[in-house]
Amino acid sequence: MDTTTELAGSPWTRGSLAAELAALGVRPGSVLLVHSSLKSLGWVCGGPVAVVQALLDALGPDGTLVVPTHTPDNSDPAAWQHPPVPESWWPVIREHMPAFDPAVTPSRWMGLISETVRTWPGARRSAHPQVSFAALGPAAEEVVAGHRLDDMLGESSPLGAVSRLDGDVLLLGVGHDSNTSLHLAEYRLPAPPRLRQGAAIFEDGRRAWVWWEDVDISEHDFERLGEDFDDTGAVAMGPVGAAACRLMRQHAAVDFAVGWFSKHRQTVTE
């Protein structure tokens, strides 16, 4: 492979990324939920640490950085599809899956930037065993506190907290299919479909497998929804490093999604 062309030009740095984040419209002092792909940024001097530093620089000392730190493998194996596992394994997994521990359990498939925030000094993490979020900054505890087991991505979740704090969403080199805030709109629909969920947690200090019922979420149409939302002009688009990025007010995206779902999805009626 010829890497000369690949590495042409100057590398991206903490300072250059922070300047591009500011140019995109990141608001100092705001609450910013970031979904990201480190690879999309190109060659960054300092890797994910420099990216997190740049995000914190753009937000300033009064801003709060939020990232997804989900652990979808801590779930009922009967629903696993990529890949599925034999039915004979299900009881073994339910009995032996390690309990979720906010301080120890790594996120899965959320990327190196999210994992770097999760382990950053002073970071706080919500307690949901499948869809936790981590936050850094003055509003971190307010964002992650009170994340109910049966309200994965609803009003009691960090998504609801970002909404109450009038926060923003940054898609850093990823598309709307990664925009978890659109799930908050599903919770705001009348009579959304519901699904039985399961996970391993600590209950009274002991590992336990627990069941609950929650909204049956789906991102199958998020890209199409996102294209329509982009067309409204409410999304700032531009480069950060080598990545194509989108920045939006979360309330605008969620409000649009509620209307879009009402038009394009069939809802459950009693």
Number of domains in the chain: 1
- The pair of structure tokens assigned to 209 is 């497998």
Find the domain containing 137 and state its range: 12-69+108-193+223-264
| Contact call for residues 41 and 177 (beta carbons, < 8 A) | no
CA distance 248 to 36: 14
Q: Is residue 182 part of a domain?
A: yes
Is the predicted pLDDT of residue 61 greater than 60, yes or no? yes
Please report the pLDDT score of residue 2 as a whole number. Answer: 42
Give the integer Cα–Cα distance in Å for 55 and 45: 15
Q: Which pLDDT score is estimated for 82?
A: 84
Predicted confidence band at 1 (pLDDT cuts at 50, 70, 90)?
Answer: very low
Residue 42, pLDDT above cutoff 50? yes
**Which residue spans within 80-130 are E strands per DSSP?**
124-125
Query: Is 148 within the bounds of a domain?
Result: yes
Question: For the CA atoms of the chain, what is the radius of gyration?
Answer: 19
For residue 81, tell me if it sits in a domain: no
Residue 101 belongs to a domain: no
What pLDDT is recorded for position 10? 80
Query: What strand order describes the sheet that includes 133-136?
Result: 124-125, 133-136, 64-68, 31-36, 168-172, 243-249, 236-240
Which helix H or strand E contains 6, and what residues bound it?
A: helix 3-6
Q: Identify whether 136 is part of a domain.
A: yes
pLDDT, greater one: 2 or 263: 263
What is the average per-residue pLDDT within 149-166? Answer: 97
Reduced to 3 states (helix: H, G, I; strand: E, B; else coil), residue 10 is: coil
* Main-chain dihedrals φ then ψ at residue 204, nearest 5 degrees: 55, 40
- Residue 94 placed within a domain: no
Query: Which residues of the chain form beta strands (DSSP E)?
Result: 31-36, 64-68, 124-125, 133-136, 168-172, 194-203, 206-215, 236-240, 243-249
Residue 133 resides in a domain: yes
